[in-house]
Amino acid sequence: MADQKFTETLYQGWQADYRCDEVYFDSATDHQRLVIFKNPIFGRMMMLDGVTQTTEADEFIYHEMLAHVPILAHGDAKKVLIIGGGDGGMLREVLRHTSVELCTMVEIDPSVVELSKQYLPNHSAGAFDDPRTHLVFDDGAAFVKNPPHTYDVMIVDSTDPIGPGEVLFQDTFYANARRCLNPGGILVTQNGVPFMQPDELKNTVTHLKHLFADASCYLATIPTYVGGPMAMGWATDNAELRHIDLDVLDARFKSAEIKTRYYAPAVHKAAFALPGYVSDNVG
| 246 vs 140: CA distance, rounded Å | 33
Which one is catalytic: 49, 109, 157, 160? 157
- CB burial readout 137-149, b (16+ within 10 A) else e: eebbbebbeebee
Q: Is 157 a catalytic residue?
A: yes
Nearer to ligand SAM, 116 or 252 (CB): 116
Q: Does 191 bind ligand SAM (CB under 6 A)?
A: no
Alpha helices in the chain (DSSP H): 59-74, 89-94, 110-119, 121-124, 140-143, 171-179, 198-211, 246-256, 265-271, 276-282
Q: Exposed e or buried b for every residue in 268-280, given b needs 16+ CB within 10 A?
A: bbebbebeeebee
Q: Is residue 88 part of the contact set for ligand SAM (CB under 6 A)?
A: no
Binder of ligand SAM out of 140, 185, 194, 233 (CB under 6 A): 140
Q: Can you tell me the distance from the alpha carbon of 66 to that of 98, in angstroms, rounded to the nearest whole number? A: 17
Among 164, 194, 233, 265, binds ligand SAM (CB under 6 A): 164
Q: Residue 49, interface with ligand SAM (CB under 6 A)?
A: no
Closer of 85 and 229 to ligand SAM (Cβ): 85
Any contact of residue 211 with ligand SAM (CB under 6 A)? no
The answer to whether 87 and 59 are in contact (CB under 8 A) is yes
Binding-site string for ligand SAM from residue 253 to residue 272, where x marks contact by CB under 6 A and - marks none: --------------------
List residues near ligand SAM by CB under 6 A.
53-54, 62, 83-87, 106-109, 112, 139-141, 157-159, 164-165, 167-168, 190
Catalytic positions, please?
157
